[in-house]
Amino acid sequence: MERPIVDPYRRRFLRFLTLGAAAGGISGAALAQTLRVSPRDILEAKEALNVSDFLPIAERTMRPAHFGYLQTGVLDDGTIDANRAAYRNWGIRARRLIDVSRIDLTTKLLGETWASPVVLAPVASQRAYHHEAERPVARAARSRGALQILSTMTNISIETVIADRQGPIWFQLYPTNDMDIAKALVTRADRAGASAIVFTADLLSGGMRRETQERLARMDPGDCSSCHDRSAGFADLVRRKAMFDRFDLGEARTLNNPSLTWEFIRRLRDWTDKKVLVKGIMTPEDAEMALAYGADGLIVSNHGGRAEESLVGTLDALPAIAEKINRRVPLLLDGGIRRGTDVFKALALGASAVCVGRPYIWGLSAFGSEGVEAVLNIMDEELRSVMQQAGVTRIGAIGRNNLTPLG
């Protein structure tokens, strides 16, 4: 009797079900994800060829409202597009017959050494993407030797995240409109073991209308009111956020504060002896102001296109800022990074390191800690490969001479 033909994809699907049953059953969400999977999709994190392989799986595992919150820009999402388009304006100069048998990705920032220049950017409310929230990300950061920046709007306490990370993290600060709350947040992060405070200056006015988020929220069949009571305002926004669970909200009414000026950096300097970075710098003038008021580092950022519709990509803004600060402090960049080649180009144009946000959340949603690790591994492998092509063996040696303008 002729044996039935079972195609490889079906065989993998059956193996997935068998392993799930052996482990005590498959959750409804995992089974639903598997039943909807496409033949082009991956079933294990290690099968991903690039970070975008995690996106379709993440989209199916997230609620539409949560996916919209992650992927949205503002208005027409034009600044998100600008962030990506900027990388297509630069080519990489390939060099030959240079010994590139050993590539060193080690990166030093503010006295700390990391295994790679790829940093896990702060992303709020990670329980929307995985039931363990920020904890799998901390474990992946520990495994890969990566820097993790924790959002003020974390679902998991900073103390727990640092315990999982088994090492320092940086804490991203939304100051609120109450200086007592802002100081309390910084003090708690200090005591927990954060080695730097990252003040976010690019969303102080609350940002612009996020149309993609709103449209996808309308498609969500679930009852969002069980988690979000919009009529309750700020108190509801932070009631499930771990950083706010130890103190009275006092006069706090908003997460951001449009009345802040550069003097706030001096206040931060008084509150903490840790390093202070300013995130959201997009012009040389603001870079100089941040340094004048005491910043120890800068992050070129437009909040991933979520805060402004400037139509200016962060990579486009980087060279002039890098020239202005002239390596006086570390200069990081986020926005649109999807490939190791993107990382290389940012480093060549003056960045000390880069922050990646959406891609590692796709990995988190799809496969938990393994997905985050896979995203970091793919980025590092691609960066290592392009460094070999360019004839550069260490991060500090990457420079403008490694690029060719294409526009």
- The domain tally of the chain equals 2
Residues 2 and 130 in one domain: no
Residue 221 lies in a domain: yes
pLDDT, averaged across the chain? 89
By C-alpha distance, which of 82, 28, 71, 98 is closest to 302? 82
> In residues, how long is the chain?
407
Residue 44 lies in a domain: no
Residues 71 and 30 in one domain: no
- What pLDDT sits at residue 226? 57
Residues 181 and 258 in one domain: yes
- Those residues with Cβ within 8 angstroms of residue 122's Cβ, 6 or more apart along the chain or in another chain: 149, 150, 151, 152, 172, 198, 200, 357
Domain containing residue 226: CATH number? 3.20.20.70
Residues 32 and 119 in one domain: no
Render pLDDT for 114-146 as a digit per residue (tens, 0 to 9).
Answer: 999 999 999 999 999 999 999 999 999 999 999
Render pLDDT for 268-310 as a digit per residue (tens, 0 to 9).
Answer: 999 999 999 999 999 999 999 999 999 999 999 999 989 899 9
Render pLDDT for 368-402 as a digit per residue (tens, 0 to 9).
Answer: 999 999 999 999 999 999 999 999 999 999 999 99
- What pLDDT sits at residue 16? 45
Residue from 66, 131, 228, 303 carrying the catalytic annotation = 303
228 a catalytic residue:
no
Q: Which domain holds residue 32?
A: 1-36
Residue 62 lies in a domain: no
pTM over 0.85: yes
Residues 32 and 94 in one domain: no
- Whole-angstrom CA distances from 309 to 77, 248, 302 are 7, 35, 9
Residues 22 and 117 in one domain: no
- What pLDDT sits at residue 19? 45
Residue 49 lies in a domain: no
- What pLDDT sits at residue 223? 72
Residue 74 lies in a domain: yes
Residues 164 and 17 in one domain: no
Residue 328 lies in a domain: yes
Beta bridge partners of 85: none
DSSP per-residue letters across 280-343: EE-SHHHHHHHHHTT-SEEEE-SGGGTS------HHHHHHHHHHHHTTSS-EEEESS--SHHHH
Residues 204 and 156 in one domain: yes
| pLDDT, mean of each 10-residue run, the chain (407 residues) | 42 46 47 52 94 95 90 88 96 98 98 98 96 98 98 97 97 94 96 98 83 85 66 73 85 87 97 98 98 98 92 97 98 98 98 98 98 98 98 98 94
Beta bridge partners of 173: 199
Residues 15 and 77 in one domain: no
Residue 51 lies in a domain: no
Residues 19 and 93 in one domain: no
Residue 54 lies in a domain: no
Residues 295 and 149 in one domain: yes
3-state helix, strand, coil in the chain (%, to 5): 50, 10, 40
Residues 82 and 137 in one domain: yes
Amino acid in position 296: D
